Amino acid sequence: MDQLWEDQEEVPCVACGNPVCGMDRGFAFGTEGVLCWKCAVARGGEYDAAEDNWTTTPDVAGLTVHHEWDE
Ligand SMILES: [Zn+2]
């Protein structure tokens, strides 16, 4: 499994803005996009805990990574 984050680093969910840390089973897409567990499941994602993998990826259409420093 690719590690997008450092263990303790938190990044905001691109859909709801809640912090997602590397210990959570968030869904990472693109280069920096991250969905929290709730949003990933709400968007159709299905996670296989045994495989430690998303068997069905969430629909991330329309989501863009927003940086605080972008204005
Ligand atoms: Zn979210």
Q: Between the CA atoms of 49, 56, 40 and 15, what dihedral angle is there, to the nearest 10 degrees?
A: 150
Residue 30 covered by a domain: yes
Contact yes or no for 22/6 (Cβ under 8 A): yes
> How many domains does the chain contain in total?
1
Mean pLDDT over the full length of the chain: 83
CA of 51 to the centre of ligand 1 (A): 22
Mean pLDDT over residues 3-18, rounded? 77
CA 42 to chain centre: 12
9 CA distance to ligand 1 centroid (A)? 16
How remote is the CA of residue 46 from the centroid of ligand 1, in Å?
A: 15
- Compute, in angstroms, the gap from residue 50 CA to the centroid of ligand 1: 23
Look at phi and psi of residue 62 and say left if phi exceeds 0, alpha if psi is from -120 to 50, else beta: left
Task: Classify residue 28: in a domain, yes or no.
Answer: yes
pTM above 0.85, yes or no: no
Domain that residue 17 falls in: 10-56
**Does residue 15 sit within a domain?**
yes
Specify if 5 maps to a domain: no
Mean pLDDT across the stretch 9-24?
86
3-state secondary structure (DSSP) of residue 39: helix
User: How many Å lie between the centroid of ligand 1 and the Cα of residue 18?
Assistant: 6
